[in-house]
Amino acid sequence: MRVRVDSSKCQGHNRCYALAPELFDVDDLGNAFELNDGVVPAGLEDKARLAIANCPEFAIIIEE
């Protein structure tokens, strides 16, 4: 599973970073980006889905 933050949609709500800090980080302005090239380590798929399901801007894209 891979995830990607669409930076044109991210507005810095920081829900992904709060829910799955293993998968996402934020810069000094609060904009999110995916860690590890977006590769979701085994066992963290549910956290990835939770982050996606809580992004108000629908900015996280999943690539199964």
Partner 1 sequence: MTSVYGPVADWQTDFDHADPEYNRNIHAIWEDLKAAGCPIAHTERYGGVWLPLTHEMVHEIAYDTDHFTSRNVVVGQIKPHEVDHDPELASPPAPIGGAPPITSDPPFHQHARRILLPAFAPKKIDPLRSEIEKMCNELIDKMGDKDVVDAAVEYSQHIPVMIIAHMLGLPLEDADRFRGWVHLVLESVNAPREEREAKFQEFGEYLEMHIRDHMENPREDLINDLLNAEVMGNTLTPEMVQGMVILILIAGIDTTWSGIGNSIWHLATNAVDRRRLAENPDMIPMAVEEFLRAYAPVTMARLVTEDHEFHGVQMKQHDWVLLPFPAANRDPEQFENPAEVVIDREVNRHSAFGLGIHRCIGSNLARLEMNVAVKVFLERFPDFELVTDEETVWSTGQVRGPRRLPVRVLSRH
Q: Which of 8, 42, 43, 56 binds partner 1 (CB under 8 A)?
A: 56
CB 25 within 8 A of CB 38: no
54 binds partner 1 (CB under 8 A): yes
Site for partner 1 in 13-52 (CB under 8 A): 13-14, 17-18, 26-30, 50
DSSP 8-state code for residue 35? S
The answer for 56, left when phi > 0, alpha when psi is -120 to 50, beta otherwise, is alpha
Binding site for partner 1 (CB under 8 A): 11-14, 17-18, 26-30, 50, 53-58
